[in-house]
Amino acid sequence: MNILTNPSRLRGFEKHIKIENVSRRSILKTLGLAGGFVLAAPVMIRPSFAYETGAGKMPHGVVVDPRVFVSIAPDGIVTIIAHRSEMGTGVRTSLPLIVAEELEADWSRVRVQQAHGDEVKFGNQDTDGSRSTRHYLIPMRQIGASARTMLEQAAAKRWGVPAGEVKAVNHEVVHSASGRKLGFGELAADAAKESVPSVEGLKLKNPKDFRYLGKGEIGIVDLHDITTGAAHYGGDVRLPGMKYAVIARPPVTGGKLVSFDPADTLKVSGVEKVMEVKGWPWPSKFQPLGGVAVIARNTGAAIKGCNALKVTWDDGANAKYDSVAYRAELEAAARKPGLIVRKEGDVEAALKSADRVIVGEYYLPHFAHASMEPPVAVANVKGDKAEVWAPVQSPGGTREDVAKTLGIPEENVTVNVTLLGGGFGRKSKCDFALEAALLSKELGVPVKVQWTREDDVRHDFLHTVSVERIEAGLDKSGKVIAWRHRSVAPSIASTFAAGTVHQAPFELGMGLIDNPFEIANLQCENPEAAAHTRIGWFRSVSNIPRAFAVQSMVAEIAQATNRDPKDMLLELIGSPRIVNLSSVKDPWNYGEPYDSYPIDTARLRKVVELVADKGGWGRSVPKGHGLGIAVHRSFVSYIATIVEVAVDDKGKLTVPRVDTAIDCGTYVNPERIQSQIEGAAIMGLSLAKHGEVTFKDGKVQQGNFDDYPVIRIDESPAVTNVYIVPPASPDTPPSGVGEPGVPPFAPALINAIFAATGKRIRAMPIGKQLEA
């Protein structure tokens, strides 16, 4: 199967990688197999909506069929399918809530059921890229409206009145002329016999009549179960006869097993077997790394047995990976010209003619996702059938990969999606589920594979490591006339294609080539960098190093020219306009059509002004305190943050206050948006203050929360205030929420530290830099 004939999947990277058999999915195949009333994608061209989204271009597109997503029992209980994975954003509640809104269902009589992995049936299920609400707000409304229409038609027939005279209101259909009413449950059987209305003819509710959307008054459906321990995550699945496995994997990425001695392991009480796990050659995509599995009657015995294992590894091609040396390589590359990926004007000439040139070089190390639930999966393989239970962000992709790995038809694979104990991009890669499937196949019993925290940190698909170098040329008046940004980082594409040295458009499009500044001479370059470990998506991805560099540079220029950093930022953003990206070959734009989701500097300016106003920019702060500001557009949302820091005379850093303004277009649940932004501040503080995974002799040097610390409550900001920009109109396209809170946090923090101390941090993490 040729890559060109297949749509991209996950974050749209594969179409840019010149290898075969990576992308395995075909929209045509989907339509051929799907029965009933299934629409793939055309919902986006409905004239009544002012915007299109990229949903239809995702693998398997969008399915708008009430019979797939909604069922109504005779007792009136409405069950709505959640086809995306819940990892803390609230999506398992918010998507069904959209359906319930249009359906006129009473939320207290709605139950949410998690979809298994089946994209032919449900459409795309990849829960990543901050896409769920932006791709599904309209389709879910259509599904709800469609089911409501069927109930109304059934009631009208029952009463022998025109359908136009009846109306669904709060879980019943009413005929106001005669005062008759029928509950949804009473109508369910008849409604199911009605034909599904065409999407074009659907009447959607007027947003002013919304009961749930945009209100933030509905708690997440799992709230009670989470507080009582009844909520089920990947590791909570228990099957009769299930064995517990822990795996020793090659300590160097791409390494191989040479031999192992199981004698001491087999002496551990509870250990039953020690066996090899198949690994795939580097670059191994999402396939398992291989190694030695310890099979036991419980996880504790498997961990103890694994620790007792004696293994000899062949470390392979990445055995010399060393973070100190690699940083020097990246810096050297950043100081030389690289592949030009955006060119406006003549940056060379402008830098030469500049009155002064300010140079900033910013380093961001690898970091690990470290979701609280380490990777874990259960598989039960019997003959040519497999059932998997796993906390995966990509149920459809997991199903494909399990089928391919076991050599069985995809139809024979069931992937049950549990709650995810955090995801952050790690659980878009299903290697842990494939390990469970391979072991269950060999052992003939259900197997749970549990990763330890050390496994998680040492065998992650890490956030890339990067050097971002920016040269800004100023004229005599202090105006920025030239901007050259070189970004050097190993690409996520390297995990799929050997020899990758350039970043993919989806990485370049995250804060590099989409720079919104109004500067006549602007050039972006991407010098080469080869990867020596698995690189993957981490919440907000390349936006983290880019926002860090660009927003730090703005403050550096402000300082050099004696300007207020916020004023400097607004000056660089420039006039309210749609940024012209016609010079960029592939602007990516998060997979969204530029017409619907352009870079709108008026919106960018507005979040800066809003946060400055609400956050009290310019207010006087106590000695040792400082304010920093940063703004960044990512996942087609606009976010600005002000951080207040306090640094004491020993260099101890605390964060008394954070203010963030977000413009994410039309939104569903402002209460969950607030929680995502609160959390993004914590994650941003974690990566800025502590986050660093380093390599020596090819091996990760960290392993657990002692040497890979993350922010705890006693270091967390005292308060994070969130301001959500109301959508300009009900036709304002929804945009991302899960990720975009992260990128502006670290530069706002770094700028605040400068304001407080005069120390400019150019390398993350901050670590002990303030103590010197």
Partner 1 sequence: MVKLKINGQEQNWDGDPDLPLLWFIRDEIGLTGTKFGCGQALCGSCTVIIDKQAVRACITSVSDAAGREVTTIEGLHPTGDHPVQKAWRQVNVPQCGYCQAGQIMQAAALLTDNPKPSHDQIREAMSGNICRCGCYQRIENAVHLASTGV
The binding site for partner 1 (CB under 8 A) comprises: 86-90, 219-220, 222-224, 226-233, 235-236, 238, 244, 268-270, 297-301, 303-304, 370-374, 419-424, 450, 452-453, 671, 675-676, 678-683, 704-706, 710-714, 716-717, 719-720
Closest approach of Cβ 304 to partner 1, in Å? 8
- Contacting residues for 765 by C-beta, under 8 A, at least 6 apart: 365, 687, 688, 689, 690, 691, 692
- Contacting residues for 337 by C-beta, under 8 A, at least 6 apart: 525, 527
Pick between residue 515 and residue 675 the one whose CB is nearest to partner 1.
Answer: 675
Closest approach of Cβ 398 to partner 1, in Å? 18
- Contacting residues for 703 by C-beta, under 8 A, at least 6 apart: 453, 454, 457, 458
Pick between residue 89 and residue 596 the one whose CB is nearest to partner 1.
Answer: 89
CA atoms within 13 Å, Cβ hemisphere of 239: 18
Pick between residue 381 and residue 673 the one whose CB is nearest to partner 1.
Answer: 673
Pick between residue 53 and residue 299 the one whose CB is nearest to partner 1.
Answer: 299
Biggest alpha carbon distance in the chain? 83
Pick between residue 120 and residue 392 the one whose CB is nearest to partner 1.
Answer: 392
How far apart CA 234 and CA 456 sit, in angstroms, is: 15
Closest approach of Cβ 752 to partner 1, in Å? 18
Nearest 5°: phi and psi at 252?
Answer: -110, 135
How far apart CA 618 and CA 603 sit, in angstroms, is: 22
How much helix, strand and coil, in percent to the nearest 5, is found in the chain?
A: 35, 20, 45
Closest approach of Cβ 424 to partner 1, in Å? 8
Paired strand residues for 659: 642, 721
Pick between residue 236 and residue 431 the one whose CB is nearest to partner 1.
Answer: 236
How far apart CA 132 and CA 128 sit, in angstroms, is: 8
Answer whether the bond into residue 765 is a cis peptide, omega within 30°. Answer: yes
What's the first-to-final CA gap in the chain, in angstroms? 57
Closest approach of Cβ 683 to partner 1, in Å? 6
Strand order in the sheet with 480-488: 339-344, 521-526, 480-488, 466-474, 356-364
CB atoms within 10 A of CB 502: 20
How far apart CA 180 and CA 178 sit, in angstroms, is: 5
How far apart CA 152 and CA 166 sit, in angstroms, is: 6
Pick between residue 22 and residue 420 the one whose CB is nearest to partner 1.
Answer: 420
- Residue 142 in contact with residue 99, Cβ under 8 Å? no
Pick between residue 219 and residue 444 the one whose CB is nearest to partner 1.
Answer: 219
- How large is the angle between the packed helices 132-159 and 184-193, nearest 10 degrees? 90
DSSP E strands in 555-694: the ranges are: 625-634, 637-647, 653-663
Closest approach of Cβ 238 to partner 1, in Å? 6
Pick between residue 203 and residue 238 the one whose CB is nearest to partner 1.
Answer: 238
The first and second tokens of residue 112, run together, are 């949410």
Closest approach of Cβ 644 to partner 1, in Å? 15
Closest approach of Cβ 193 to partner 1, in Å? 40
- Residue 570 in contact with residue 514, Cβ under 8 Å? no
Pick between residue 621 and residue 658 the one whose CB is nearest to partner 1.
Answer: 658
Pick between residue 209 and residue 714 the one whose CB is nearest to partner 1.
Answer: 714
Closest approach of Cβ 93 to partner 1, in Å? 11
Nearest 5°: phi and psi at 306?
Answer: -65, -40
Pick between residue 30 and residue 133 the one whose CB is nearest to partner 1.
Answer: 133
- Contacting residues for 756 by C-beta, under 8 A, at least 6 apart: 624, 625, 626, 645, 646, 647
How far apart CA 303 and CA 271 sit, in angstroms, is: 9
How far apart CA 145 and CA 46 sit, in angstroms, is: 15
Closest approach of Cβ 299 to partner 1, in Å? 5
Pick between residue 315 and residue 460 the one whose CB is nearest to partner 1.
Answer: 460
Closest approach of Cβ 90 to partner 1, in Å? 8
Closest approach of Cβ 687 to partner 1, in Å? 11
Closest approach of Cβ 26 to partner 1, in Å? 33
Closest approach of Cβ 394 to partner 1, in Å? 17
Answer whether the bond into residue 283 is a cis peptide, omega within 30°. Answer: yes
- Residue 70 in contact with residue 97, Cβ under 8 Å? no
How far apart CA 166 and CA 175 sit, in angstroms, is: 5
Pick between residue 327 and residue 453 the one whose CB is nearest to partner 1.
Answer: 453
Pick between residue 228 and residue 562 the one whose CB is nearest to partner 1.
Answer: 228
- Residue 15 in contact with residue 8, Cβ under 8 Å? yes
- How large is the angle between the packed helices 91-103 and 132-159, nearest 10 degrees? 30
Closest approach of Cβ 130 to partner 1, in Å? 15
- Residue 174 in contact with residue 166, Cβ under 8 Å? yes
